[in-house]
């Protein structure tokens, strides 16, 4: 069987804040039979500029990302929001640029959120993974609404021995992170994440899982400030068998 050659787009948050999400992604992709490459030229997909209205810088970063990702069969991203930026917004950015539009469309068409890729494209399930805990799952907005990530993480979490998945009230409701929103309008963001933290606590779960580090940092940061015992992981960490490591905000 020829291995699928996939590029991992790490995302700037994973790169800086929680590298083990990137390593978990590589581990799961390799288990699913992929040959994983981390292209050197990647940095940030440009989403902060795009969402702030700074189109010029968003285009510059998009071009750099397109060039870095073009040579590969598929691009996999451990984030619905960065994946959504590449897949949905890159083609919009180059709508009036006949030279770059086809390149943006080509990269967009082969870009996948990690759990959607493992589930839909590889038909893979984790084997022999065990985590004894009660977990709850938050559906991050961009992954959910731009990329249709909903059933895939749940299908990948299901085979994990000992893991009980309990529903979260308002699991499709935004956590109030919103990229730069949380620092531009901190008080409103706090009110939103406060409600989310209460809903998470009300599930009685030990673990909070999601597919986007930004949302996870927001929710985990609020839970920690409130003195909660709920531990937060990117779902791919559990799926890759790395759920026994430190949760977000725990010392290694």
Partner 1 sequence: MSGAPAEAASFKARADAALADRILKVAVERTAGTAEAKRAVAVDAFPDFQAARTRAAAIKDHVVAHLGPYLEQFEANAIAAGAKVHWARTADEACDIVIALCKAAKAKSVARSKSMLGEEIGLPHALAEAGIGRVETDLAEHIIQLADERPSHIIWPAMHKTREQVSALFKAKHRTPHEEETIAAMAESARRELRTQMLGADVGISGANFLIADTGAICTVTNEGNAELSLVPPRVHIVTAGIEKIVPSMPHAVHMLRMLARSATGAALTQYTTFYTGPKRPGDRDGPEEMHIVLVDNGRTRMREEGLAEMLRCIRCGACMNHCVVFRQIGGHAYGGTYPGPMGAVLTPVLDGLKQSRDLPNACTMNGKCQEVCPVRIPLPTLLRGWREKSWREGLEPQSLRAGLGIWAWVATRPRLYRLGTGMAVRAMRLLGSKGWIRSLPLAGGWTRYRDMPKPAAQTFMDQYRKENGR
| Binders of partner 1 in range 170-199 (CB under 8 A) | 172-174, 176-194
46 touching partner 1, by CB under 8 A: yes
Given candidates 28, 49, 163, 168, which one binds partner 1 under the rule CB under 8 A? 49
Residue 251 in the binding site for partner 1 (CB under 8 A): yes
Query: CB–CB of 108/220 below 8 Å?
Result: no
Rounded Cα gap, residues 92 and 180, in angstroms: 21
Rule CB under 8 A: is residue 17 a binding residue for partner 1? yes
- Pick from 1, 2, 40, 127 the residue near partner 1 by CB under 8 A: 40
Q: Using CB under 8 A, which residues numbered 146 to 175 contact partner 1? A: 146, 172-174
What residues numbered 50-79 form the site for partner 1, per CB under 8 A? 50-55, 57, 60-61, 64
Beta pairing partners, 172: none
Nearest-angstrom CA–CA distance, 31 and 126:
8
Asked whether position 228 contacts partner 1 by CB under 8 A, the answer is: no
- 6 lines the binding site for partner 1 (CB under 8 A): no
In the three-class reduction of DSSP (H, G, I as helix; E, B as strand; rest coil), residue 7 is classed as: strand
Given CA atoms 143, 144, 147, 151 in this order, what sign does their dihedral have?
Answer: positive
List the x/- string, 102-141, binding to partner 1 by CB under 8 A: ---------------------------------------x
Of 71, 140, 142, 84, the residue nearest 111 (C-alpha):
84
Applying CB under 8 A, the span of 41-49, 94-102, 109-117, 158-166 interacting with partner 1 comes to 41-49
Closest to partner 1 by CB, 45 or 160? 45
Judge whether 193 and 123 are in contact, CB under 8 Å: no
Q: Is 246 in the site for partner 1 (CB under 8 A)?
A: yes
DSSP string, 190-213: HHHHHHHHHHHHHHT-SEEEES-H
Query: Among residues 144 and 238, whose Cβ is nearest to partner 1?
Result: 144
Which residues, including other chains, have CB under 8 Å from residue 123's CB and lie 6 or more apart? none
């Amino acid at each position: 069987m020829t291995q699928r050659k996939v590029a991992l787009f790490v995302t700037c948050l994973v790169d800086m804040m929680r590298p083990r999400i990137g390593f978990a992604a590589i581990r799961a992709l390799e288990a699913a039979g992929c040959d994983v490459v981390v292209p050197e030229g990647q940095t940030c997909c440009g989403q902060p500029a795009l969402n702030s209205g700074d189109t010029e810088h968003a285009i510059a970063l998009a071009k750099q990302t397109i060039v870095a990702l073009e040579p590969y069969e598929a691009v996999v991203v451990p984030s619905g929001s960065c994946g959504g930026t590449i897949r949905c917004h890159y083609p919009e950015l180059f709508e009036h640029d006949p030279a770059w539009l086809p390149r943006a469309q080509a990269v967009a068409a082969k870009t996948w959120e990690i759990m959607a890729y493992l589930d839909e494209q590889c038909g893979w399930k984790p084997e022999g993974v065990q985590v004894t805990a009660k977990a709850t799952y938050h559906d991050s907005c961009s992954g959910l609404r731009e990329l249709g990530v909903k059933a895939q993480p749940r299908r990948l979490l299901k085979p994990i021995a000992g893991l009980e998945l309990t529903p979260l009230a308002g699991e499709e409701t935004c956590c109030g992170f919103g990229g730069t929103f949380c620092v531009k309008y901190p008080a409103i963001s706090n009110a939103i994440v406060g409600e989310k933290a209460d809903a998470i606590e009300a599930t009685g779960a030990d673990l909070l899982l999601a597919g986007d580090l930004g949302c996870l940092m927001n929710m985990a940061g609020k839970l920690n400030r409130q003195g909660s015992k709920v531990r937060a992981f990117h779902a791919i960490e559990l799926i890759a068998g790395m759920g026994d490591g430190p949760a977000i905000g725990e010392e290694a």
